[in-house]
Amino acid sequence: MSPSETVLETTGVVVRFGGNTAVDDVGIDIRAAGVTGLIGPNGAGKTTLYNCITGMQRPDAGRVVFDGQDVTGLAPGARARRGMARTFQRLELFLSLSVRDNLRVAGDIVRANTRRKLDVEAETDRVLELTGLTDVAHLDVSDIPTGRARVVEVARALMTRPRLLLLDEPASGQTEQETEKFAAMLRALADDGLAICLVEHDLPLVMGLCSRIHVLDHGVLIASGTPAEVQASPAVIEAYIGAEVVA
Ligand SMILES: Nc1ncnc2c1ncn2[C@@H]1O[C@H](COP(=O)(O)OP(=O)(O)OP(=O)(O)O)[C@@H](O)[C@H]1O
């Protein structure tokens, strides 16, 4: 996979909730071997666009193309089998299971739902190592700090061996140190070829980590480009000055 290869593309995506247009004719792309940021003030439409990408929300118009194939009409499970994985704003882990068992369960599901031959134990060990979780593997998720639990979410997503990883505010609840480690882990995953998309409140993290950024405001794509380009965009400055809380 070449570094600039487009893994995911939306074109003309529209989502309306009653009279409110949550996503208004949005076209973005997410490329292999990089971290793409998706930012915008609260209510800008980021989560709704994620839902369209993963199949949890059917767009009123537009297309979602994954690995060159139109997946707009496919259910979330079918997209997951093609290599899409997602984490959520709220932790969606089994709190009373150990870190290792959370990964095992994900591995078991992959094995049951695909024809892939998967050595779940070996894969669990590999992903624990890759994400730096080996030292807490035996602990229940409820007994580790939220910041580490965010990493478990990513690790669980990695059990599916995705091509595209969509992260929704993964750094919330992390200490500065945890965020630094987390950023290094994402960079390493991207260097390995993974396409990562990051919705995140922590703008310094986004600016430092992402090679490209898409900015939404009131459902409209107001800028796409490098961190320097979007930070210099008058529309972006205007949107953020007008917003009390930014993401
Ligand atoms: N299920 C829904 N029904 C009605 N309106 C919705 C629904 N989901 C989202 N919206 C509205 O769509 C708009 C976009 O919301 P969305 O959650 O996608 O924004 P966001 O950028 O993810 O915001 P945040 O940063 O606060 O998570 C908002 O006006 C929101 O109120």
Tell me, using a 6 A CB cutoff, whether residue 41 lines ligand 1. no
CA of 184 to the centre of ligand 1 (A): 30
Residue for token pair 């969509």: 166
Q: Strand 34-39 vs strand 84-86: parallel, antiparallel, or unpaired?
A: unpaired
Tell me, using a 6 A CB cutoff, whether residue 51 lines ligand 1. no
pLDDT at 2 (0 to 100)? 52
Could you report how far apart the first and last alpha carbons of the chain are, in Å?
30
Pick the atom of ligand 1 nearest to 45's CA. 18
Q: How many CB atoms lie within 10 A of CB 146?
A: 13
Domain segments of the chain: what residues?
1-83+164-247, 93-161
CA of 194 to the centre of ligand 1 (A): 27
CATH of segment(s) 1-83+164-247: 3.40.50.300
Eight-state DSSP code of residue 245: S
pLDDT tier for residue 246 given thresholds of 50, 70 and 90: very low
Length, in residues, of the chain: 247
Minimum CA distance residue for ligand 1 atom 26: 42
- ipTM value for the complex: 0.97
Q: What is the average pLDDT across 109-123?
A: 83
pLDDT tier for residue 85 given thresholds of 50, 70 and 90: very high
Structure tokens at 71: 């997946």
On the question of pLDDT at 1 being above 60, the answer is no
Structure tokens at 72: 């707009």
pLDDT tier for residue 116 given thresholds of 50, 70 and 90: confident
